């Protein structure tokens, strides 16, 4: 009961390590390393794509 399984807020997978999403990612809660890396790539490697597909 002491251990609470945390789920990734983005993909729902069990997380061994929790990563705190940065502001502007539109993610509430913690995310897994895979999603964290993916978000980093989306927001920093392809910044102009975000501008084109602005919602
Ligand atoms: Zn995830």
**DSSP of 1-55:** ------B-TTT--B-SS-BPPPTTS---S-B-HHHHHHHHIIIII-HHHHHHT--
Q: What is the pLDDT of residue 55?
A: 56
What pTM value is reported for the model? 0.68
| 15 CA to centre of ligand 1 in angstroms | 8
Q: What is the pLDDT of residue 2?
A: 46
Per-residue pLDDT tens digits of the chain, which is 55 residues long: 546 678 999 999 999 899 999 988 989 999 999 999 999 988 886 656 556 655 5
| 18 CA to centre of ligand 1 in angstroms | 9
């Amino acid at each position: 009961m002491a251990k609470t399984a945390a789920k990734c807020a983005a993909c729902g997978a069990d997380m061994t390590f929790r990563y705190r999403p940065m502001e502007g990612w539109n993610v509430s809660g913690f995310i897994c390393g895979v999603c964290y890396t993916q978000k980093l790539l989306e927001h920093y490697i392809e910044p102009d794509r975000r501008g084109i597909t602005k919602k």
